[in-house]
Amino acid sequence: MYVPAHFEENRPEVLHQMIADHPLGTLVTTGPNGLDANHVPFEFAPGEGPHGTLRAHVARANPVWQEVATHPDTLVIFQGPAAYISPTWYPSKHETHRQVPTYNYMVVHAHGKIVVRDDEAFVRGLVARLTRTMEANEPKPWKMGDAPADFISQMLGAIVGIEIEVTRLVGKWKLSQNKEARDRRGAVEALLAGGSETQEAVAEAMLSAPPSF
């Protein structure tokens, strides 16, 4: 990923929080037919390994877990809020007309090596933890014990666990840090006026990002 210095985000706590807030990652692997991508919710253990450990599961019918046995190098992409930025939002555009459209976004790339964990205990523990995390804000959280034991065993048998020891985390926070203060302010105001939660999240991130201009 191309990361200009003014868009680089390398604070571990910030990268870890992005993964926690947006756990649906794009798992990019190499197989016999070239590159492959699967979209999988991940559990992240930041304290395990030099840069943390990612855990997830895939369908047993998905050939990816067999293909990675000989191609363990992998990349997982975690995408945060993103929003379109119109050049008309920049005050300088109306003076010089030297601005163009762009997108502001936040993204984390986790590089590592994947290991297949095809054992029931690993998968059961992982699914239980993911469920507790995802259901935490529900008024009546669903738990595995709500379903018949034989049904849960059947479902667990249909998935395979994967584990990735992260070797490198790369963060890119493209938030208009290279623009003048008045242009950043104009973009923030327009995003907030847009009214969507995503636009608001990007605007708030822009306000906290240190400018480079």
User: pLDDT digits over 193-205, tens only?
Assistant: 998 999 999 999 9
Question: What's the sign of the alpha-carbon dihedral 128, 129, 132, 133?
Answer: negative
Q: What's the rounded Cα separation, in Å, for the pair 96 and 115?
A: 54
Identify the CA nearest to 176 among candidates 213, 122, 147, 143: 213
Side-chain-side CA neighbours of residue 6 (13 Å): 10
Task: Quote the CA–CA distance of 171 and 129 in Å, as a whole number.
Answer: 26
Tell me which fold the domain 5-82+102-177 belongs to: Pnp Oxidase; Chain A (2.30.110)
- What pTM, to 2 d.p., does this model score? 0.93
pLDDT at 99: 84
Q: Where are the beta strands (DSSP E) in 70-206?
A: 73-85, 102-117, 159-174
Tell me the sheet residues that pair with 111: 75, 168
Low-confidence ranges of the chain (pLDDT < 50): none
Here the tokens at position 181 are 């203060």
Contact 78, 111 (CB under 8 A): no
pLDDT for 213 equals: 63
SS (H, E, C) 65-84: HHHCCCCCEEEEEEEEEEEE
Q: Where are the domains of the chain?
A: 5-82+102-177
φ, ψ of residue 13 in degrees (nearest 5)? -65, -30
Q: Which residue has the tokens 């191609």?
A: 71
Q: Distances from the Cα of 205 to the Cαs of 48, 83, 160, in angstroms?
A: 28, 11, 36
User: In which element (H, E) is residue 38 found?
Assistant: strand 34-41
Determine whether 68 is exposed, middle or buried from the number of CB atoms within 10 Å of its CB (0-12, 13-18, 19+).
buried
